[in-house]
């Protein structure tokens, strides 16, 4: 857990300083770290940026542990769930993204990327909103074979559309 905290903290510092697109801090030339960074990059480019979700098994171990929001905290899931999640997002409209930077430390890779969605009319009818450049930091842990075995997901939800009215935490104080 110390590695994850350190890598996220380091990533937040780099993000706030306007880090270069290909940050090589922590792992400049280590071949395993470079392989893991390339695998993480390909994961986003295939599953999220180009809707090639059938490629999920190239990147994710048969089972992995996810640390996300809601019920997906410290949950072991089959690899197919990464395809399912990406397919769901792609079903909402034109999904795209861009990688801002990556850094590696041993078997861990942190990637800061942004996601954009041009919601389809059907998705808009269901309440889905178009968003542009919402920042996300993911930390992946890789097994020795180079497959993702653990995922920490950190979205900057404040950049997502907010419902009208006062912030929820202030409603009880009124």
pLDDT digits (tens, 9 = 90+) for 80-99: 999 999 999 999 999 999 99
pLDDT, position 70: 77
> What architecture is domain 2-158?
Roll (3.10)
Q: Where are the domains of the chain?
A: 2-158
Quick: pLDDT tens for 21-76. 444 444 468 999 999 999 999 999 999 999 999 999 999 999 999 998 778 889 99
Q: What is the mean pLDDT of residues 161-171?
A: 55
pLDDT, position 19: 41
pLDDT at 158 over 90: no
pLDDT, position 127: 87
Output helix, strand, coil percentages for the chain, rounded to the nearest 5. Answer: 35, 35, 30
pLDDT, position 155: 79
Question: Which single residue is written with the structure tokens 């770290």?
Answer: 33
């Amino acid at each position: 857990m110390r590695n994850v905290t350190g890598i996220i903290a380091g990533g937040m510092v780099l993000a706030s300083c306007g880090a270069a697109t290909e940050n090589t801090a922590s792992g400049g030339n280590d071949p395993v770290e470079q392989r893991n960074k390339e695998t993480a990059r390909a994961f986003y480019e295939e599953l999220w940026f180009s809707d090639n979700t059938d490629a999920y098994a190239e990147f994710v171990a048969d089972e992995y542990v996810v640390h996300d929001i809601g019920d997906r905290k410290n949950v072991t899931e089959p690899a197919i769930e990464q395809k399912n999640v990406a397919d769901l997002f792609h079903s909402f409209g034109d999904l795209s993204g861009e990688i801002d930077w990556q850094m590696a430390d041993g078997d861990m890779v942190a990637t800061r990327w942004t996601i954009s969605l041009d919601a389809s009319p059907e998705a808009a009818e269901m309440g889905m909103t178009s968003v542009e450049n919402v920042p996300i930091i993911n930390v992946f842990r890789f097994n020795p074979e180079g497959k993702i075995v653990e995922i920490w997901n950190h979205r900057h939800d404040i950049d997502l559309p907010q419902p009208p009215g006062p912030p929820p935490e202030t409603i009880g104080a009124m």
